[in-house]
Chain A
């Protein structure tokens, strides 16, 4: 136990040292992590929010299967997603001509695949619950399903943030997929999680743990920034 505590305290001082030195290599890695994961969350939201709402409001043949798949895909193993995206983007794969493998774009694509199901499934549940509450009202106003979808998405926008955050959390913390499709190339595709995996492999546990502490801190900062914005907006509206 004493040893473990010792390891943690060393890692903490290393983390603080790294942050205050504003090490350019570290800043580059943090920057890419945020760029990749935030872009992935934005794209996944653009797909997942309308998809989830549509699944909640429209009745069509095969909806049950799509919903079941979506729920199952919330737990997709990142390594498998990485492998599939790799095979598709590889030069010998169907989209090989685009030359996207080992680029941040490839990493974004893999993360979109991972988190779209999460955002869509949570959106569907939120909209279902809201629909129970608003259904009569909206129908009385003669709203069509498409109109209802827009209204409900807007009315539940604060609750929907939970799903978006769940997606961001998974994206920023994920290592299996970005390692395969990004390749962990220094100055090109190295992000926080792949750097941590690399340092662990090199046996530099202290540096790995310090990077882990920084990753958690950044996650916390991003989440609380958006949470406080959400809180402010909520108060403004009510």
Chain B
């Protein structure tokens, strides 16, 4: 039995050594909207060419992405929910938040548009009509940035959405793509970021019904994980990436990225609106 345990230990140690010797990399926890759209696949090789540092991406919801940072499992986070981000910094988990870019949400639904939201100009009105017609609406329901944004819009529309949970309002508890798959299957409405929508292929009867209203804009911020809390954090390298994202070069690369000839992310790092600095 001792011999068996020794063998296992040896295998584990060898494997961890092999992994430790790999090229230099940092771990970024980010959201599915930046990863599934292909933005990070577009940006990271450019950064790697310049610095030799690879960026490994864990694509999860904003809530989980921040938690990975809090536990020290990521070196920096790129997320989109200001309130959670500020809380993350106030709790001492992160430092140096910077605005990077924004994208926007759209409302998609069945082609025949039973709630008649197609010609509206205000997102809040669209949410009101959906609730008046009691047409199925699929929510992410996963505490992600998108989910939190959607909840803000329901409350702006003065609708107590929890009352309808399980009725016409369905909480999927899933990522954006999975939620779109459900919306497709149930002929329902849902709110999605434009990037995931454009790269989503299983649309069938789903179509874009509402877009271009400022409350649907969505700010992304990059935050470095506080190295004072976790000494293994690759702070210097992570800072290089954060610097690059907000530099002219990084900002230009973000603007260049397009899907089906549409620009998805709009760089706005220079506008230092309400940046939280702890240093």
Say which size band chain A's interface belongs to.
20 to 34
- How far, in whole Å, are A202 and B41 apart by their CA atoms in the complex? 15
> Which residues from B are CB-within-8-Å of A183?
56, 58
* Contact, CB under 8 Å: B19 / A203: no
Given A203-B180, A205-B202 in contact, is the A101-B19 Cβ separation under 8 Å? no
Contact with B along A199-223 (1 / 0, CB 8 A): 0111111100000000000000000
Say yes or no: is A90 at the interface (Cβ < 8 Å to chain B): yes
> Which residues from B are CB-within-8-Å of A101?
73
> Which residues from B are CB-within-8-Å of A205?
201-202
Say yes or no: is A69 at the interface (Cβ < 8 Å to chain B): no
List residues of B (177-201) whose CB comes within 8 Å of A's CBs: 177-178, 180-181, 184, 196, 199-201
* Contact, CB under 8 Å: A203 / B230: no
* Contact, CB under 8 Å: A47 / B8: yes
Which of A60-68, A103-111, A150-158, A165-173 interfaces with chain B? A103-111
Say which size band chain B's interface belongs to.
35 or more
Contact with A along B37-71 (1 / 0, CB 8 A): 00001000000000000001111000000000001
Q: How far is the CB of A192 from chain B (nearest CB, A)?
A: 18
* Contact, CB under 8 Å: B201 / A204: yes
- How far, in whole Å, are A59 and B8 apart by their CA atoms in the complex? 26
* Contact, CB under 8 Å: B4 / A46: yes
> Which residues from B are CB-within-8-Å of A46?
4, 7-8
* Contact, CB under 8 Å: B181 / A203: yes
> Which residues from A are CB-within-8-Å of B56?
102, 183, 185, 188
Say yes or no: is A100 at the interface (Cβ < 8 Å to chain B): yes
Name B residues whose Cβ lies closer than 8 Å to a Cβ of A: 1, 4, 7-8, 11-12, 15-16, 19-20, 27, 32, 36, 41, 56-59, 71-73, 175-178, 180-181, 184, 196, 199-203, 230, 232
Return 23 A-B CB contacts under 8 Å, by A number. Answer: A43-B11, A46-B7, A47-B4, A50-B1, A90-B72, A91-B73, A91-B232, A100-B16, A102-B27, A102-B58, A103-B16, A104-B19, A185-B56, A185-B57, A185-B58, A186-B41, A201-B36, A202-B199, A203-B177, A203-B180, A203-B181, A203-B201, A203-B202
Name A residues whose Cβ lies closer than 8 Å to a Cβ of B: 39, 43, 46-47, 50, 90-93, 96-105, 108-109, 183-186, 188, 198, 200-206
| The 10 residue pairs across chains A and B that have the minimum distance between CB atoms | A201-B177, A203-B202, A91-B72, A203-B200, A92-B71, A183-B58, A203-B201, A105-B15, A185-B56, A204-B201
